[in-house]
């Protein structure tokens, strides 16, 4: 994400204002560096299966799902800009092994799916996968998790749907904050996550590594401060020494704690966390 600055500056110097569309094309490739290989189930838990949803604008999108067992909650996962639905399932594999359900959304333009990625397009994708996840979850809790760019997709979904809980991992305040001033007029997508906080009506849980070199930890702190100022319910989980996402084992422990808070209905409920995770309620 932080390479946007260098790409845009170079493009404008080379092409000039009459060719800003070329700069926009390069920005698109940096914001949405979509993997092209189609999804497959190789290396995923045996319970994983392909699923297909249809968006409101008529696109059939493939994703991956695992049904919950024994009344366990389900996670609807929106991955980061260079990742995929299969990566999401691998990341949550410790929880899958315990019976948690997962619906791993895949975006348009990604992994062989049709369409072109954009904030508006990914919003339609999120709505379609949310409907599928609600069916998979049944009567159990459905917790939405977004990593990096996927956090922006998740914030957008929360503005349109009522969620049982919203979790973001390594997410930025707004997309423009990741680009220099010269590039901001060329950004067609906003992903104003900080601005979305005031309208939330579900608990918000932020997870951020304090050694994140992609989305600096200061973004997580800024989102926490905004949530506190807006009197939202939730917490910031700081993972000491972690980069742009905690390892699977740590993430599983944090998500278990979040599930306990959601199921108890108390965002301030006490939970057990590993020593390298610091909890700051708001």
Alpha-carbon span 257 to 255, nearest angstrom: 5
Residue 242, pLDDT score: 98
Beta bridge partner(s), residue 145: 77, 167
SS3 per residue for the chain: CCCHHHHHHHHHHHHCHHHHHHHHHHHHHHHCCCCCCCCCCCCCCCCCEEEEEECCCCCEEEEEEECCCCCCCEEEEECCCCCCHHHHHHHCHHHHHCCCEEEECCCCCCCCCCCCCCHHHHHHHHHHHHHHHHHHHCCCCEEEEEECHHHHHHHHHHHHCCCCEEEEECCCCCHHHHCCCCCHHHCCCCCCHHHHHHHCCCCEEEEEECCCCCCCHHHHHHHHHHHHHCCCCEEEEEECCCCCCCCHHHHHHHHHHHHHHHHHCCCCCCCCCCCCEEEEEC
Residue 12, pLDDT score: 47
Beta bridge partner(s), residue 52: 62
β 277-281/234-239 pair status: antiparallel
Residue 181, pLDDT score: 83
CB 50 within 8 A of CB 209: no
> 62, 61, 91, 59: which is closest to 75 by C-alpha?
91
Terminal-residue alpha carbon distance, the chain: 28
Going residue by residue through the chain, which has 282 residues, state the pLDDT in tens, using 9 for 90 and above. Answer: 545 545 545 544 444 554 577 878 888 999 999 999 999 999 999 999 999 999 999 999 999 999 999 899 999 999 999 999 999 999 999 999 999 999 999 999 999 999 999 999 999 999 999 999 999 999 999 999 999 999 999 999 999 999 999 999 999 999 999 988 887 888 999 999 999 999 999 999 999 999 999 999 999 999 999 999 999 999 999 999 999 999 999 999 999 999 999 999 876 778 889 999 999 999
Place of tokens 């290396």: 43
Q: Name the token pair of 216.
A: 């600096």
Angle subtended at Cα 79 by Cα 242 and Cα 198, rounded to the nearest 5 degrees: 85
Alpha-carbon span 95 to 72, nearest angstrom: 10
């Amino acid at each position: 994400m932080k390479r946007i600055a260098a790409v845009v500056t170079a493009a404008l110097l080379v092409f000039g204002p009459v060719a800003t569309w070329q700069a926009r094309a390069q920005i698109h490739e940096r914001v949405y560096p979509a993997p092209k290989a189609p999804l497959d189930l190789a290396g995923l838990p045996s319970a994983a299966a392909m699923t297909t949803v249809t968006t409101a604008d008529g696109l059939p999108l493939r994703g991956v799902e695992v049904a919950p067992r024994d009344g366990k909650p389900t996670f609807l996962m929106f991955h980061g800009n260079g990742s995929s639905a299969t990566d999401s399932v691998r990341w949550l594999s410790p929880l899958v092994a315990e019976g948690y359900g997962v619906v791993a959304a895949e975006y348009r333009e990604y992994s062989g799916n049709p369409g072109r990625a954009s904030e508006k397009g990914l919003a339609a994708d999120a709505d379609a996968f949310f409907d599928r996840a609600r069916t998979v979850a049944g009567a159990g809790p459905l917790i939405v998790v977004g990593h990096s760019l996927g956090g922006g997709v998740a914030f957008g979904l929360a503005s349109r749907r009522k969620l049982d809980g919203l979790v973001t991992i390594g997410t930025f305040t707004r997309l423009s904050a990741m680009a220099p001033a010269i590039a901001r007029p060329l950004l067609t997508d906003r992903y104003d996550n900080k601005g979305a906080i005031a309208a939330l009506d579900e608990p918000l849980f932020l997870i951020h590594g304090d050694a994140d070199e992609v989305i600096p930890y200061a973004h997580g702190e800024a989102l926490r401060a905004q949530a506190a100022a807006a009197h939202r319910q939730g917490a910031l989980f700081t993972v000491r020494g972690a980069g742009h996402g905690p390892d699977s084992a740590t993430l599983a422990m944090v998500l278990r704690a979040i599930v306990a808070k959601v199921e108890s209905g108390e965002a301030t409920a006490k939970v057990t966390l590993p020593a390298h995770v610091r909890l700051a309620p708001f």
